[in-house]
C-alpha cells in the first residue's frame, strides 16, 4: 500500500501525508498536531522521525486546520474528547493502522491521551506526549489570552494565513474554547488511570502554556510505565526548539517497545 494524501473521518475531508514505510511494512507513529498546528507546520520533523526510528510516520490536519475541510464553530468545550473518541478511530482505520504509537503535541497530546484511556485499541502500543495538558492553569490561560491579542494585532493572523485556509476560523475555534468561562473547570486527568501502554512524556522546562504539574499528573496516575524528558530552556514546542533531543528520546522509546514485543512469547 501507499500513503494517502486525503482521507475522510468525522464526516470531513482531511489532508494527510505519510513518511517512511506504510502500516503493512512497519509500525506507525501517528502525529497529532497542536491547537494551532497543521500538517505543514510539522515541517521536516515527520521525515526526520521516520529516518530516526525506521517506522512509518503519518500526519494529518484535523478539520478546521491547514487545508482540511472546515469545522463547525463554535467548537464544543469537549472538542478534544470528541476528536479522540469519534474521529481518531476513523483516521486510524482509514490508513490501515496495524500497530504503533500515538505521538501528540499540546492539544494533540491530550487527544492521544484521551484515546488511550477511552478506546480499547490493542494496535496502540505506546504514547509519546509532548507538552500535554489535562487541566487548565492560570498561567496557560494568560498565555492564551496573549495569543488573542497577538492575533487581533495582525502579526499572528498573517503567519497563520500561510498554513491555514481560514486562519480566523482556525484561531477562534481554539482560542474561544480555551477562554470560555466554562473551560476553567476542564479536567481530563482521569483518562490516565485507564492507560495500559507505556508513555514517554516530553516537556520544555519553560513551557508558557503548561507547568510541570501536567507531567506530574501523568507520573502520579499512570499504572503503566512512564518515561519523562524535561528539556531546559525549551518552551512549548520541543520538536522545533530541541529536535535532536526529541528524536533521540522517541527513537529509543520505539526501539525499546520493539525489543519488548520481540521478546514476548507467541500465544498458542
Domain ranges of the chain: 6-261
Give SS3 for 259. helix
Q: What is the mean pLDDT of the chain?
A: 96
Q: Yes or no: say if 261 and 234 are a contact pair by the CB < 8 Å rule.
A: no
* Predicted local confidence at residue 160, as pLDDT: 96
Sorting pLDDT into bands at 50, 70 and 90, what band is 164?
Answer: very high
Q: Specify the pTM.
A: 0.96
Radius of gyration of the chain (CA): 17
What is the tens place of the pLDDT at every residue in 31-83? Answer: 999 999 999 999 999 999 999 999 999 999 999 999 999 999 999 999 999 99
* Predicted local confidence at residue 266, as pLDDT: 58
* Predicted local confidence at residue 165, as pLDDT: 97
Query: Alpha carbon of 19 to those of 48, 62, 80, 252, 255: distances in Å?
Result: 9, 18, 25, 19, 18
CATH architecture of 6-261: 3-Layer(aba) Sandwich (3.40)
Pairwise CA distance, residues 109 & 262, whole Å:
27
| Residue 217 grid coordinates | 499528573
* Predicted local confidence at residue 268, as pLDDT: 47
Amino acid at each position: 500500500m501507499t500513503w494517502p494524501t486525503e482521507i475522510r473521518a468525522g464526516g470531513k475531508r482531511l489532508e494527510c501525508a505519510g513518511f517512511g514505510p506504510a502500516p503493512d511494512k512497519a509500525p506507525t507513529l501517528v502525529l497529532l498536531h497542536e491547537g494551532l498546528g497543521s500538517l505543514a507546520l510539522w515541517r521536516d520533523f515527520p521525515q526526520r522521525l521516520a529516518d530516526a526510528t525506521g517506522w512509518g510516520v503519518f500526519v494529518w490536519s484535523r478539520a478546521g486546520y491547514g487545508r482540511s475541510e472546515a469545522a463547525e464553530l463554535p467548537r464544543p468545550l469537549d472538542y478534544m474528547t470528541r476528536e479522540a473518541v469519534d474521529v481518531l478511530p476513523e483516521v486510524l482505520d482509514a490508513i490501515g493502522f496495524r500497530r504503533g504509537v500515538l505521538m501528540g503535541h499540546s492539544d494533540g497530546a491530550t487527544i492521544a491521551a484521551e484515546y488511550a484511556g477511552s478506546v480499547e485499541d490493542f494496535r496502540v502500543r505506546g504514547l509519546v506526549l509532548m507538552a500535554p495538558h489535562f487541566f487548565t492553569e492560570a498561567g496557560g490561560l494568560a498565555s492564551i489570552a496573549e495569543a488573542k491579542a497577538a492575533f487581533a494585532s495582525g502579526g499572528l493572523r498573517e503567519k497563520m494565513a500561510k498554513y491555514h485556509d481560514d486562519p480566523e476560523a482556525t484561531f477562534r475555534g481554539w482560542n474561544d474554547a480555551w477562554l470560555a468561562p466554562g473551560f476553567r473547570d476542564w479536567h481530563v486527568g482521569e483518562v490516565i488511570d485507564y492507560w495500559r501502554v507505556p508513555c514517554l512524556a516530553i516537556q520544555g522546562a519553560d513551557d508558557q502554556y503548561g507547568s510541570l504539574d501536567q507531567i506530574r499528573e501523568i507520573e502520579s496516575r499512570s499504572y503503566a510505565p512512564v518515561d519523562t524528558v524535561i528539556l531546559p530552556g525549551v518552551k512549548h514546542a520541543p520538536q522545533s526548539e530541541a529536535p535532536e533531543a526529541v528524536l533521540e528520546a522517541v527513537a529509543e522509546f520505539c526501539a525499546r517497545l520493539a525489543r519488548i514485543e520481540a521478546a514476548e512469547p507467541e500465544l498458542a
